[in-house]
Amino acid sequence: MQAVTITQITPLELESLIENSIKKVLSTQKTEQPTTDQWFDLNELCNYHPDKPRPATVYGWVFAGKIPVNKGGKKLRFLKSEIDEWLKQGRKMTFAESSLKAEQYLKNK
């Protein structure tokens, strides 16, 4: 442990030391803002979806159980995080990815 020498400082110097200390602490802390999930109604989902489907198409997906949906009374509500995950699941594998998956399958068989 180091020895601390106390000297007299002016109020202005003390204020400067405190400000610098606070700035240092605040800059090292993570400034994460809590992310709140967003709800879409049918029209908002149609606008958000990359293919811009018609409402009738989305109703077909809901009826077939292909899309995650929350039903409140007569209204359909879609959670943005669930829609994003659903869209990612539709991604096709590249040739390299499918070859690797096939090799792993054959090794385990």
* Domain count across the chain: 1
What single-letter amino acid sits at 69?
V
pLDDT tens-digit series, residues 5-50: 777 888 888 788 888 888 888 877 766 555 678 999 999 999 999 9
pLDDT tens-digit series, residues 46-91: 999 999 999 999 999 999 999 999 988 889 999 999 999 999 988 7
What are the φ/ψ torsions at residue 98 (nearest 5 degrees)?
Answer: -70, -35
pLDDT at 5: 75
Residue 19 lies in a domain: no
Average pLDDT value over all residues in the chain:
86
CA dihedral over 88, 40, 72, 64, signed as positive or negative: negative
pTM value is 0.54
What's the distance, CA 15 to chain centroid? 40
Residue 29 lies in a domain: no
67 vs 60: CA distance, rounded Å: 9
Residue 77 lies in a domain: yes
